[in-house]
Structure 1
């Protein structure tokens, strides 16, 4: 049974979905833009049924109790700090970390900064940040795919455009690939005063303070052939930035919204990965 949980980390309060036995192996799921922890509903139920303790928080800006106003309050180091603070509040000394889209970026950075805490890493869609940086310099296709990130840094023009006409442009991002009830939940959440600006501040926060290097923990990276944001060059480059056990899987004919477009396939890969590194 999936229930709701409020996680207080001092100055911030994060809304979260939780399921599975309290004594189960800990798994933390990080969503991306423009979604919430609900993106993981298929994976939460399946993992809980296999005895895992699963928590999927609405991250900084998405939880009303964790919504600072300034773009600089969404720097990557602070987002990683949120992950650590949430895990400490949950009493988790170590946990398996899963991320998609921006949640995938935070997951990469967390695994690099805190390898002793992250038992395994699973990322859907988002390549290793250094792999993405490399291909943005060398691959015209990836530069074209990533151009939207520059456009979305405009403020308040982006918010006004996305929310105009009953959030028509925001709804279009889901492109019929996300379940309708989930899409409506995302639109309602992001239509709250200041919520979409907070979510877009992830794009406006500027470059990370530090450089990221290779990842030591066991890593599963899942890329899909119809992903509009991340192309094959960055996906293939990612393996160069993992020196721990690494598995790269490609989902044919699937778009960017992997957890919801291909929930069964992703869950199967995730469970295999967790079982393979249960004693790591």
Structure 2
């Protein structure tokens, strides 16, 4: 499949690997798209896994509704359920990075019957994040979140001078020029950046739908080099998982784990997938 539909929106998706392989859904964050997984997916395919990597709401050109209510967590989670339904999958392994990781946490809490395993890259459980905001330096690390919720200002700032600020932020995080150019081009598409910022602007609405305890086997991967997400929330996350849980700490890698630690991420995901009991689907 190369696309799926939900509520009149069409989402692009990269469906690759063995057709009969264990399905692994790969969810990107901001300002990424499904290309974030280009270095991870081939290694998963070599281990017999099928990958489905959608361009999420706001990124897919035909899935950019206007209004922040369309980007609340209930909607972005519903998109992944629609992907599973369109692919004819009762359950799948789900891997999420950045915002995709938050969607993965919510899926694990709200729809555990649709997941075989959960892997969250970088991001802690949302409840652990909320606690760390008032007990650690996490609030300082997250100042950009408040900026991104302002009207108009972040679009003008990030895309000024052919996206110079966005380019500088991504290069400063260690991404190579080809990836930087690709992500900036995507955000320069009509309506793309405003739509992706809708995820941040919907945070006050998403907060009304708390993410509770996750009851799915969970792998959490975090790096000491992540400038945005600190140790406090990471170490508190285990309290919100009532299932086998493993924290893997990488040393010195910046936030962009799928791109900058692809081999290790693929190795960890493959091993985690193999811990799941045989599927009865």
- Which TM-score tier does this pair reach, normalised by the shorter chain? over 0.9
For the pair 1:15 / 2:5, whether they are aligned, the reply is no
C-alpha displacement of 1:212: 1.6
| Corresponding residue of 1:170 | 166
Report the counterpart of residue 183 of structure 2 in structure 1. 186
Contact 2:10 / 2:62 at 8 angstroms: preserved in 1?
A: yes
Matched, 1:24 2:21: yes
Deviation per residue, 1:91-132 (Å, 9 max, x gap): 111000000000000110011111001100001000000000
Secondary structure at 1:207 match in 2: helix
1:245-264 equivalences under 5 Å are 245-264=244-263
Q: How does 1:87-126 map to 2 (within 5 A)?
A: 87-126=84-123
Structure 1 SS opposite 2:178: helix
Determine the structure 2 residue equivalent to 1:143: 139
Deviations 1:16-42 (A, max 9, x none): 222112121111000000010110111
Q: Is the 8 A contact 1:98 1:123 kept in 2?
A: yes
Q: How many residues align?
A: 276
Matched, 1:133 2:130: yes
**CA-CA distance at 1:185 after TM superposition:** 1.4
| SS across alignment from 1:163 | helix
Which portions of structure 1, spanning 4 or more consecutive aligned residues, are displaced by more than 6 angstroms?
none
Q: Distance in 2 between matches of 1:126 and 1:207?
A: 19
Q: Does 1:198 align with 2:195?
A: yes
* 8 Å contact kept, 1:17–1:38: no
1:53 aligns with 2:50: yes
The reply on whether 1:265 has 2:264 as its aligned counterpart is yes
Query: TM-score scaled by structure 1?
Result: 0.95
Deviation at 1:10, TM superposition (A): 4.6
Can you give the 5+ residue segments of structure 2 that lack an aligned partner in the other structure?
none
Distance 1:264 1:207 in 2: 36
Alignment RMSD (CA, Å):
1.3
Which moves more between the two structures, 178-187 or 149-158? Answer: 178-187
Task: Using the TM superposition, give the Cα deviation of residue 207 of structure 1 relative to its aligned residue in structure 2, in angstroms.
Answer: 3.5
Give the Cα separation in 1 of the matches to 2:161 and 2:80: 35
| Partner Cα distance (1:173, 1:68) in 2 | 27
SS in 2 for 1:64: coil
Aligned mates of 1:9, 1:151 — CA distance in 2: 30
Contact 2:3 2:10 in 1 (8 A): yes
